Chains A and B, each alone.
Chain A
Amino acid sequence: MSETKALESMIGEEYKYGFTTDVEYEDFPIGINEDIVRLISGKKNEPEWMTEFRLKAYRAWTEMKEPSWFNATYEKPKFDKLQFYSAPKNTPKLNSLDEVDPNIRETYEKLGIPLEEQKMLSGVAVDAVFDSVSIFTTFKEKLAEAGVIFCSISEAVREYPELVKKYMGSVVPVRDNFYAALNSAVFSDGSFCYVPKDTICPMELSTYFRINNMNSGQFERTLIIAEENSHVSYLEGCTAPMYDEHQLHAAVVELIAMDNAEIKYSTIQNWYSGDEDGRGGIYNFVTKRGACRGHHSKISWTQLETGSAVTLKYPSVILQGDYSVGEFYSVAVTNKRQQADTGTKMIHLGKNTKSTIISKGISAGNSNNSYRGEVKFSKKADNARNYSQCDSMLIGQTCGAHTFPYIESANPTGKVEHEATTSRVGEEQIFYLQQRGISEQDAISLIVNGFCKEVLKELPMEFAVEANKLLGIKLEGSVG
């Protein structure tokens, strides 16, 4: 009886979302070149400027090298073998849910994401992205009444070209990094949200990403704009079937907050993580960045990262406006052979800007979990402040936890506070709780949950249950 085994059985509880949906796919050539980029653009009936954006990004990408500075090793994706666009057949623009392929509908139901609006959690609008295309967006009319635009990015390119043109690539430029450039060239779908001035978005928005096709990558693109005095909360969830091959997921997310606007962006990432020996699982290489353009604006990232074979992800905030606020709350759980190198960047440009970083890493099995964070105070950022807290918890003897904090200050009035701890889920802790009558599994669950509490409380309430479930609060597996 060891606590390690019990915990492994908890975190490593069998992946419930590993099923495959049988759908017919449109034919699409393998590999990548300019013709393929044009073909993707053509599939989506995009205007010329969008095609040009993609081609510019593709050309930039061909000149870039795949990065290797992170604390993870993996076999590089074979771009010439990958299918960059994967759409189920017969999915033209849908006006009603009845037109959605019943197999796909069933998939979302199995995942616990009913698309029928009356069945939805109260007040959550969902955009469902299946492989490369958005399947359906719920509650569109209700949101439109409030003036909020929530649709797939493809639709936004066609319907709101001025907004997309103005903001896409303005936070994450096409040349930003290798995978951002690739995404800019081949992105297929994703969500678009625009909240006008003086508007509080009346419900939680959420996108549910599903990779189904074995050989395709998913390159989604999300753009959220919050105008003056507006507020929006957005959540994304991700799952994928179990395959022996790695699949690539390279997303770009851009957030823009104007004066007094607030964007809260939450992620529950549960891509398939691969098996005990590191076979299969998703490569999760994502660029997420928000710009606090306006004064007193606020962007908050909350993430619960439990899946993927390899995660490289640093949701960041550029604090341009004076008195703007950036927050990053993260729980990253790794087990088996998973590798996660994740953290944030807080770039302080405006005066009296403030950022908070709370990162909790839990490593088990043979996994490797790194926190990498950068806090930067520019010359003009008078009285900037940052508070960082990075805690690591180890379970067992064969996992690793690492912390790489970078702090750069060009302004002497700035204040940085950094705290870091590493602990091990100890036999003594478990014995103590067991002595109080609590079973071994419940004891571990209490300890892990307590460790992540500060982050979990930041998640929207509607998703707290899902988060708890993911962390293994409801334990079904038996103790090893």
Chain B
Amino acid sequence: MLEIKNLHAIVESEGIEILKGVNLTVNKGEIHAIMGPNGSGKSTLAKVVAGHPNYEVTDGDILFNGESILELDPDERAHAGLFLAFQYPVEVPGVTNTTLLRESYNTIAASRGREELDPLEFDDYIQGKLELVEMNPDFLERSVNTGFSGGEKKRNEIFQMAVLQPVLSLLDETDSGLDIDALRIVADGINKLHGDDDGVVLITHYQRLLNYIVPDYVHVMIGGKIVKSGGKELAFELEEKGYDWLESLATVNGEAK
């Protein structure tokens, strides 16, 4: 479903290369975890796949359902079924969660030929989704992420994922800043949402999240490349040994990290 081929990307304003040839394939029904130290390019990879304007792809390709999405705007990628749960969800004062979600839902629905929902139908529809992440309904009338605690913001991302029903979800450090109870709620939500027809990419720093969401594959990213891939047991190995033992793999071809 998602094929990333030899992806190179730079920060547009500075010309610094962050992604240095990433290869990754995600199929339907799979959960992938991407782990790695700070600054390894994990979050950049998620943003580039979602189409963030600060980055420019200089080489390689991103295929989604067999088609290159490099020329698509971020909203068009979202219409295709791509979802990014942000590491730092953005505040939008004065715009309620309901307003945003209904607009999002209907825009995506329209682009995919699904039926749009009027405000009352939409209200019914999201009630069930609220329970999934144990959100108080009051929360719907609050401004998007404005004045939310760190944990609430992360839960809101998963709530949006539940409402929008993406085909591929990239979850960028969704576990950071969550206490143990919130982590469990968020992880349960993701597990319930994931099925045979969608893919999930978890970007995480710690193995902790993977106790709750069991990945099919674990990848280690260092220096803008995936340097090692394996099954879920790789995560435990990393937890035990850290990333140092893999650093040397990032400098093959004499290229420094």
Contact = CB atoms under 8 A, between A and B. Distances in A.
B23 interface: no
B52 A431 contact: yes
B207 to A, nearest CB: 27
A428 B90 contact: yes
B164 interface: yes
B78 A450 contact: no
Contacts of B137: none
B78 A436 contact: yes
Contacts of A452: 94
A352 to B, nearest CB: 31
A9 interface: no
Task: Report the contact-size class of chain A (Cβ under 8 Å from the partner).
Answer: 20 to 34
Nearest to A450: B94
Contacts of B108: 437
A436 B94 contact: no
Interface in B91-127: 91-95, 99-100, 103-104, 107-108, 111
B73 A440 contact: yes
Given A437-B108, A446-B92, A451-B94, A432 B78 contact: no
Contact of A435 (B84, B111, B143): B84
A80 B164 CA distance: 65
A205 B75 CA distance: 43
B89 A434 contact: no
A454 to B, nearest CB: 7
Nearest to A446: B95
B75 A434 contact: yes
Given A433-B92, A452-B94, A446 B84 contact: no
Given A436-B100, A437-B79, A454 B94 contact: yes
A16 interface: no
Interface residues of B, number: 31
Given A436-B78, A436-B160, A427 B54 contact: yes
Interface string B56-77: 0000000000000000011101
B50 interface: yes
B206 interface: no
Contacts of B74: 431, 434-435
Contacts of B100: 433, 436, 438, 446
B104 A438 contact: yes
Contacts of B139: none
A432 B90 contact: yes
A447 B164 CA distance: 20
A438 B84 CA distance: 14
A411 interface: no
A453 B146 CA distance: 14
A422 to B, nearest CB: 13
A439 interface: yes
B230 interface: no
A453 B50 CA distance: 30
B104 A436 contact: yes
A433 B84 CA distance: 11
A449 interface: yes
Given A450-B92, A451-B94, A438 B53 contact: no
B2 to A, nearest CB: 16
Q: Which of A1, A427, A434, A453 has the most CB of B within 10 A?
A: A434
A451 B52 CA distance: 24
B53 A435 contact: no
SS of A interface (majority):
helix
Given A442-B103, A446-B100, A435 B50 contact: yes
B75 A440 contact: yes
Given A432-B90, A446-B103, A437 B78 contact: yes
A90 interface: no
Given A427-B54, A431-B74, A437 B90 contact: no
Contact of B143 (A1, A429, A439, A450): A450
Nearest to B47: A431
Contacts of A428: 90
A435 B78 contact: yes
B95 A439 contact: no
Contacts of A447: 92, 95
Contacts of A426: 90
B251 to A, nearest CB: 33
A411 B108 CA distance: 58
Interface in A431-480: 431-440, 442, 446-447, 449-454
Nearest to A429: B90
A435 B78 CA distance: 6
Given A438-B103, A446-B103, A450-B143, A431 B92 contact: no
Nearest to B100: A436
Interface in B125-165: 143, 160, 164
Contact of B104 (A429, A437, A450, A451): A437
Contacts of A435: 50-51, 74-75, 77-78, 83-84, 86
Contacts of A451: 93-94
A320 B37 CA distance: 66
Nearest to B77: A435
B160 to A, nearest CB: 7
Contacts of A432: 86, 89-90, 92
Contacts of B89: 432
Contacts of A449: 94-95
Interface in A317-355: none
A429 B92 contact: yes
Interface string A378-406: 00000000000000000000000000000
16 contacts: A427-B54, A429-B91, A431-B50, A431-B74, A432-B86, A432-B92, A435-B50, A435-B51, A436-B104, A437-B78, A437-B79, A437-B164, A442-B103, A446-B100, A450-B95, A453-B94
Interface of B: 50-54, 73-75, 77-79, 83-84, 86, 89-95, 99-100, 103-104, 107-108, 111, 143, 160, 164
Nearest 4 CB-CB pairings of A with B = A450-B94, A450-B95, A434-B74, A437-B78
Given A427-B53, A437-B104, A447-B95, 7 more contacts: A431-B90, A436-B100, A437-B78, A450-B92, A450-B95, A451-B93, A454-B94
